[in-house]
Structure 1
Amino acid sequence: MKLDYPIKFEPILKYRMWGGDKLVDVLNKQSDEKNLGESWELSDVPGDISVVANGDLKGKDLKQLLTLYGADLVGQKNRERFGTDFPILIKYIDAKVPLSIQLHPNDALAKERHNSFGKTEMWYVMDAEPDADLIVGFNKEVTKEEYVQHVDNNTLEDILNVEKVKKGDSFFINTGKIHAIGAGCLIAEIQQTSDVTYRVFDWNRVDKDGKPRELHTELALDAIDFAKKDDFWLDYTKLENSSNEIASCPYFTTHYLPVKGETTQDYSATDSFVIYMCVDGEGTVTANAHSVAIKKGETILLPAAIDEVQLSSTGMELLEVTV
């Protein structure tokens, strides 16, 4: 079977106590379950491996593709760097109420403690209700001792930085940066393949069994960046039918690609797979005479072996992700 067409995967839907109904009602995910918080669009996390939903490869999972096709799927450099692991995890997130205050360890700590990658990530705000906000970092310089005191006194909120958000805002979340997605945010998230999260405050909530969720207070102490850094806002241009860089780091590069009419993307010099996340509108992705429809809330993987893609739409907005 040829690796010559745009690939879709079955979404992996996740119940979350903070989840809402937008993944179903706005992004058209198929589920009767309530409080869906995450749709894992492309995952190589053990136990949650994405399965192909279209074309000749339908029914095969991402790990099988990585084994069968290697560099033709991910690119030669990624094959050498990651072997048969897929380096990023792609999600859509609906926060009906705020997520816990949390952070993620870097590669070294995650490897030592969890045999995992660290978790550098970025957010793109697809939709935001009026007055929606996010927590990103601290609002002042904080020592470890001050932080511990606030945790002990249940006053952690006092030292957290809150940012109001709107559609199109984008944020980069370094490892170690304390953060939380606020109520009313619909988010596209790109991150390293990791499910390691250190939860440090959960608004004194209990789960559906009446139990408070586990906190990782001690583990977090060695992982937190206590410095006040305004390095999270991502500014970018929005030129039509062009790849506008939003973020670039050793783990992924993301462009904003608004499409109107028809345009061709040349990936012949790109030694990587390409992921399209449709964050608004709908259109068609064509490669090697294979056309696949994409609409808001859907995701497509273009294997590295595909050199050229035609995009067509009366108006859609894509996030274009490579490694």
Structure 2
Amino acid sequence: MEKKIYFIEPVFEAKYWGGQALKERYGYTPDLPNIAIAYHVIALPQHNLDNTVKETGEKLSEFYKNHRELFGCNREDFPIRMGSGNKVKQISIQLHPNDEYCLQHEGERGKFECGIFVQGDRDHLAIRGHNAKTREEFRELVETEQWDKLFRVVTIKKGQYTYGPQGTLHGSPYAPTEEETDMVELGFETNSDITYRLYDWGRNMPNRPLHIEKVIDTVNIPDDQNMGVDIVEKDVDGCKVAYFIDKPGIFTAFRIRVDECGTFERKEFMFLFCIDGEAEINGTKIKKGETIFVPCDFGALTIKGKVELGGMTYRNL
């Protein structure tokens, strides 16, 4: 298979809490009441979430299986996902279980995630972790519904990114204010869609079940250190590059900003999503809202234009 740049077509999902900001920001036009999540990279056919590779017409899950030489990845299952989210309602308090538990009970891996705000970035409150010291104390606070005592509310500051290992309790402590409904978060995650809800603010919606016992079984104990993390950029060959996570066997997530022209290279395959602006990358034009796939061992990318890119790859263990 030719080692060239391929375009990845997005997949959209409407949810109870989704808004209109993704349609407005990127000009997406799906026949949906809202876009809660635009998946730029996902390969979960069992959940009907699978991108299409524009040049071949293959689903991304098939493209990965059929052209492994383009990835150089030792995982049988496709390892990563990336998507933009916009919420206008309060989301549930939830977690994503670890790989061991998830594989045993759900038949797929758990989800590790981090995210940056690409629109409407401002100081805001978030639930990140909890205040229980033992699993017994966690259970007691849940059963007695002492949510204010249990949930750990932190301030995520403007310019920070969020970091969520598997088993991290997280969610919204309040419904977004009117000005906060324009916030767009770009999420970098392992390729899973398993979520356990602990508390849904009394909504009791049939399509949003709670998983209280599973949360108690899988929540990290203790979990009182998770905070927003400052973004650190380095100048590399005309690019301003910030890495968020770079862990073999999990994923590598980064952002590239270019003002005029820069060069960027990794030996691994890459997915690059255009957060803002437009550019020409080795002769291929990309604009805001588009995603490209760059095969492994492709060589240096010459990026011409004023552009901001979110990137992901996977390093073998």
TM-score normalised by L of structure 2: 0.87
State the Cα distance separating 1:33 from its structure 2 match.
Answer: 2.2
Cα root mean square deviation, aligned = 2.2
Match for residue 285 of structure 2 among 287, 292, 299 = 292
Match for residue 274 of structure 1 among 270, 275, 279 = 270
Residue equivalent to 1:242: 240
Residue equivalent to 1:308: 300
State the Cα distance separating 1:60 from its structure 2 match.
Answer: 1.8
Gaps of 5+ in 2: none
Matched, 1:222 2:217: yes
State the Cα distance separating 1:235 from its structure 2 match.
Answer: 2.7
State the Cα distance separating 1:109 from its structure 2 match.
Answer: 0.6
Amino acid at match of 2:284: S
Amino acid at match of 1:189: G
Q: 1:221 to 1:263 in 2, by over 3 A?
A: same
CA contact (8 A) 1:128 1:167 kept: no
Amino acid at match of 2:4: D
Secondary structure of the residue that 1:26 maps to in structure 2? helix
Match for residue 176 of structure 1 among 157, 160, 167 = 167
Q: 1:172 to 1:11 in 2, by over 3 A?
A: same
Match for residue 64 of structure 2 among 44, 66, 75 = 66
Q: Which moved more, 1:12-21 or 1:127-136?
A: 127-136
Secondary structure of the residue that 1:95 maps to in structure 2? coil
Q: Deviations over 1:203-259 (max 9, x none)?
A: 11244xxx4720001111110013133244333322451322222223111222111
CA contact (8 A) 2:152 2:224 kept: no
Amino acid at match of 1:312: K
Spell out the pairing of 1:169-208 with structure 2 (5 A cutoff).
169-181=160-172, 183=176, 184=180, 185-207=183-205
CA contact (8 A) 2:271 2:293 kept: yes
Amino acid at match of 1:69: H
Distance 1:224 1:305 in 2: 39
Gaps of 5+ in 1: none
CA contact (8 A) 2:274 2:291 kept: yes
Residue equivalent to 1:88: 80
Residue equivalent to 1:146: 137
Q: Which runs of 4+ in 1 moved over 6 A?
A: none
TM-score normalised by L of structure 1: 0.85
Residue equivalent to 2:41: 42
CA contact (8 A) 2:40 2:273 kept: no
Q: 1:165 to 1:4 in 2, by over 3 A?
A: same
Q: 1:181 to 1:30 in 2, by over 3 A?
A: farther
Q: 1:119 to 1:283 in 2, by over 3 A?
A: same
- Sequence identity (%): 24
Amino acid at match of 1:3: K
Distance 2:65 2:223 in 1: 43
Residue equivalent to 2:93: 101
Q: 1:157 to 1:35 in 2, by over 3 A?
A: farther
